[in-house]
Structure 1
Amino acid sequence: MERASAWLKSAVGLAAVLRDGSEADLPRRLGSCARELLPVDSASVLLVGEGAFDGPGCDGPAFECLRTGRPLAGIDLRQKGPWPEFAARALAEGYVAAAVLPLGRGGEGPVGVLQLLSSDAALSEAGLAGLQPVQELGDLFALLLGHARTLRETRRTVDQLSGALDSRVLIEQAKGMLAERWRVTPTEAFRVLRAHARTHRMKLRDVAASVVDGTLLLEAGVDARSGGRS
């Protein structure tokens, strides 16, 4: 019962990160949860696309876990194994056991892995069943990270569309002001705006904003032979 309560507390804390913090806080929180639930000294989140799996020296169990999408448990670093260089580095830092869990199972593959290191040999004896609570948190982490990334991209798209709409409104407003002032068509007014922007290497939006707020006074006789459609 106590173990289930600890897991539930960790899961709620992980989910609350996006409410109280940011996407960048998720890996730190997952590592903290792993250290609370298992006898580990180090819990590192290695995400795809953030440089953790790039360059030389890609020789440890984390890369094997990412490639296969399967967890690796019971790694006794004191025993001869398939990752001698990784084991040597870990032993030099005082660790004797390791485990690696995929972050997100199924679908298009893991978004990364959770690498666990311990100075306690008990980790190498935990087995997959003993790691299951943290594996489930890893799956939750992947789900939350996916939602956070989708939300971030949606907000970026909304901001871009909002900016484009604001620019269009300013340009239309400037066209209308100039067309009324000069008694010309909106198309002719737009040609003058665009010609000024090109001549002075300005953004069309900035030219329009200056016309609207009165800081830029254009003359109807400005050469607009570059033409164009509104």
Structure 2
Amino acid sequence: MSREQHIVRTFLELADTLVEDFDIIDFLHQMTVRCQELLDVTDAAVFLAHPGPHLHSPAPCDPGPGLQRVLDTACLQGPALEAHRTHRSVTALDEAETAARWPEFAQHRQAAGYTLATALPMRLRRNNIGSLLLLRTGHKPLGADDLSLAQALADAATIGLLQARTIRQQHTVHEQLHTALQSRILIEQAKGVLAARQNITLNEAFDAIRQHARHHRLLLSDVARDVIDNRLTPAPAAAQPHTTEADAE
């Protein structure tokens, strides 16, 4: 397979996030593997934004202790965090400058044998989701072509992850709507059962179910299910004890 074919296949992989069994950890692992294969780098890691000021890095498969310490520190300081905050690429070249700006990161990077570190933002318009960190053991900076390709890979991964998040959110909304519909059907059935059982109107039956649910701090759907399955017969609302402020505490 030529390098051009490998690049094309990689972009297709990064776009394939709409499958039902999408696995984000496997996706990020493949992203780092492809970076190592296509770019002049030793290791790569993806950092994702977390609530709070720091990043989180799903670790690559079986990282050595040196790389793991670099990744742990990079979540708190260093080019990965800087690229995420500034929305631009950041390269740690000069040893003295790196040590002055990010002392712990510089220490662990040097101990692990890495001489260069470059981070690229993962951002699409207002969606800023993290950064891509590239680590090298040589002394030659990444070339312009490799930097451009790395940013393109980061952009493609960002789009893929945002698509996957949108699909998950849509599924959540659909599930909530389905649950609400099923609960409404259940409550309507319980109203009919209770109205026939008590010889009351449907409105009175619903008031009885609602008052019972409030007094016992239950969901309407749970009370409705008990009316149907367990022959629960709430008294008409006027005959039930009212919920007081003390009950609600």
TM interval, shorter chain, is 0.7 to 0.9
The one-letter amino acid of 1:15's match is: A
Who is 1:176 aligned against?
Answer: 192
Who is 1:203 aligned against?
Answer: 219
The 3 A distance-change label for structure 1 pair 84 and 48 is: closer
- Following TM superposition, by how much is the alpha carbon of 1:145 offset from its aligned partner in structure 2, in angstroms? 0.9
How far apart, CA to CA, are the structure 2 residues paired with 1:18 and 1:24?
15
The one-letter amino acid of 2:4's match is: A
**Aligned-partner SS, 1:110:** strand
- Following TM superposition, by how much is the alpha carbon of 1:58 offset from its aligned partner in structure 2, in angstroms? 3.8
Moved more, 15-24 or 187-196: 15-24
Who is 1:7 aligned against?
Answer: 7
How far apart, CA to CA, are the structure 1 residues paired with 2:9 and 2:52?
31
How far apart, CA to CA, are the structure 1 residues paired with 2:51 and 2:29?
15
The 3 A distance-change label for structure 1 pair 148 and 52 is: farther
Moved more, 19-28 or 155-164: 19-28
How far apart, CA to CA, are the structure 2 residues paired with 1:120 and 1:52?
31
Give the conservation status (yes or no) of the 8 Å contact 2:87–2:121: yes
- Confirm whether residue 33 of structure 1 aligns to residue 29 of structure 2: no
How far apart, CA to CA, are the structure 2 residues paired with 1:17 and 1:226?
52
**Aligned-partner SS, 1:101:** strand
- Following TM superposition, by how much is the alpha carbon of 1:174 offset from its aligned partner in structure 2, in angstroms? 0.5
Who is 1:218 aligned against?
Answer: 233
Who is 2:86 aligned against?
Answer: 68
Q: Deviations over 1:26-81 (max 9, x none)?
A: 32221111111123232111111266826x984311222122211134x4354644
- Confirm whether residue 104 of structure 1 aligns to residue 119 of structure 2: no
Percent of residue pairs identical: 35
- Following TM superposition, by how much is the alpha carbon of 1:166 offset from its aligned partner in structure 2, in angstroms? 1.1
How far apart, CA to CA, are the structure 1 residues paired with 2:51 and 2:115?
27
- Following TM superposition, by how much is the alpha carbon of 1:83 offset from its aligned partner in structure 2, in angstroms? 3.1
The one-letter amino acid of 1:190's match is: F
* Aligned mate of 2:154, from 133, 138, 146: 138
RMSD: 2.8
How far apart, CA to CA, are the structure 2 residues paired with 1:221 and 1:101?
65
The 3 A distance-change label for structure 1 pair 68 and 88 is: same
TM-score by length of 1: 0.83
**Aligned-partner SS, 1:89:** helix
Give the conservation status (yes or no) of the 8 Å contact 2:205–2:236: no
Moved more, 37-46 or 77-86: 77-86
Give the number of equivalent residue pairs. Answer: 222
Q: Which runs of 5+ in 2 are unaligned?
A: 56-72, 244-249
How far apart, CA to CA, are the structure 1 residues paired with 2:113 and 2:227?
68
TM-score by length of 2: 0.77
Moved more, 93-102 or 44-53: 44-53
How far apart, CA to CA, are the structure 2 residues paired with 1:83 and 1:220?
71
The 3 A distance-change label for structure 1 pair 100 and 63 is: same
How far apart, CA to CA, are the structure 1 residues paired with 2:232 and 2:112?
70
